[in-house]
Homo-oligomer: A and B are copies of this chain.
Amino acid sequence: MEPIDILVTNGTVLTLDSCETLIEDGAVAVTGDSIADIGPASKFSACEVKTRIDANSGIIMPGLINTHTHAAMTCFRGLADDMDLMTWLNDYIFPAEAKLTNEKVYCGAMLACAEMILSGTTCFADMYLFEDAVAEAAKNAGMRAVVGEVLYDFPSPNYGTIENGFSYTSDLMVKWNDEPLITVAVEPHSPYLCAPDLLERAEAIAAKNNAPLIIHLAETISETDKIRSVYGKSPVAHLSNIGVLSPRLVACHCVVLSDEDISLLREKDVKVSHNPESNMKLAAGIAPVPRLLDAGVCVGLGTDGCTSNNNLDMFAEMDTAAKIHKVNCLDPTVMDAKTVVRMATIESARVLGLDQTTGSLEIGKKADLIVVDTQKPHMTPMYNIYSHLVYAAGGNDVSTVVINGRQVMQDSRLVSMDLEKVMADVNRIAETIRNG
């Protein structure tokens, strides 16, 4: 066996593999960027180990995967809440976004990475402007990320006309091709802000590069009404009609779906990103996730941007995901804790096309893992590990984070960035936003 760079030991290993393997008093051995071995802690007692991480009888599990966010919106966190969507967008968000720069997006994304790592997220999919800066931030923070420049019919504060948007996307693909942490996606905003030719072209580029195509889809009733009035079809049927549905498509939100829409999503193996807290806060509606799961659609979890959440804590998102569907279906057995933990890990990896890379602890996969500290009052006693992760834990219970074999958080502290500076940078940006 190769020398072990990192041994995470003395914890319950929750692998989230297809057999749902769980090893009490287990350990995970990391060599280079990958998982070299997994087993009982005793197996490794004689091994030479460079760095030993004591899980303190906690949970050793794959890092959580946030399938949909707009990381740099941390700059606007809490700027405008509890208001009508159009007031929020037109009076607050769009004017603020018009003044964005590469530097501001970098700073906002670094803050998002800090928050995500601290709360146990090891990978995120981002859609925003100036995505080169997001990739840079993710790389520097040591996070795995799927990035993609948002594309729409009107001029972008970053690239101007859509022609430039496509070349910006191609440039991203070239620039980040060799960076193991970064995947570049093609990201048309939505069927209501993207004409069919934009969508078709985006899909062609994604297909050619075997890249994810990420889009907001069927988020609100008003969107659905609008698409129906223009195209005579539901948003899903409209995308089907122009040939954009595929296993590489990541459809974010999917709140307003008919049975026919669900069949189409299943038939084309489209992936869904579920964002319950955002859908609740913006009063969009409740996505029919239990019906999607029953139909066999692959669903991952996401926080959406932190202006509509307002944090990036995937543990809180798991809790909400488990509860909202119970009350919506008036059935306490739907969305059980195990289903939700899988949704936030291996299923989210599958959504992003990264399930061969991350999302579970398996030999040969990249070492993206976290340790959850269970020696806390709100995690005591322990009867069921999945219940605790979903209903009792919070992001703050994460003590250790390893991404791609690199320990980026140690003893609940970030080691991959200067957190004080990252917060100060965004506070300075907020000052300019406050002053208009």
Contact = CB atoms under 8 A, between A and B. Distances in A.
Contacts of A378: 115, 118-119, 306, 311-313, 395
A391 B285 contact: no
Given A78-B388, A323-B280, A396-B396, A332 B380 contact: no
B78 A377 contact: no
Contacts of A396: 394, 396
Interface string A378-404: 101111100110011011100000000
Contacts of A384: 78-79, 81
A310 interface: yes
Nearest to A385: B78
Interface stretch (A9-17, A161-169, A259-267, A423-431): A423-431
Nearest to A92: B383
Interface residues of A, number: 71
B111 A377 contact: yes
A280, A380, A422: which has the most chain B beta carbons within 10 Å?
A380
A427 B327 contact: no
A384 B77 CA distance: 9
Contacts of A337: 81-82
21 contacts: A78-B382, A78-B392, A81-B337, A81-B384, A82-B337, A111-B377, A114-B377, A115-B377, A280-B324, A281-B327, A281-B332, A285-B330, A286-B327, A306-B378, A310-B392, A377-B423, A378-B395, A380-B423, A380-B427, A383-B430, A394-B395
Given A82-B336, A115-B377, A378-B115, A311 B280 contact: no
Interface in A260-300: 277, 279-286
Contacts of A335: 82
A139 interface: no
Contact of A83 (B81, B280, B332, B419): B332
A333 B337 CA distance: 31
Given A81-B336, A333-B84, A381-B75, A391 B323 contact: no
Across the A-B interface, give the 5 residue pairs with the lowest CB-CB distance, nearest first. Answer: A381-B430, A310-B391, A280-B323, A82-B336, A78-B387
A405 to B, nearest CB: 24
A interface SS class: helix
Contacts of A310: 387-388, 391-392
Taken together, the copies of this chain in the complex come to 2
B332 A282 contact: yes
A429 B319 CA distance: 26
Interface string A82-121: 1111001000000000000000000000010011001100
B391 A326 contact: no
A375 B114 CA distance: 13
A286 B387 CA distance: 22
B115 A391 contact: no
A370 interface: no
Contacts of A309: 391
Nearest to A112: B377
A316 interface: yes
A320 interface: yes
A391 B280 contact: no
A322 interface: yes
A263 B269 CA distance: 51
A312 B381 CA distance: 14
A80 B335 CA distance: 14
Nearest to A119: B378
A115 B378 CA distance: 6
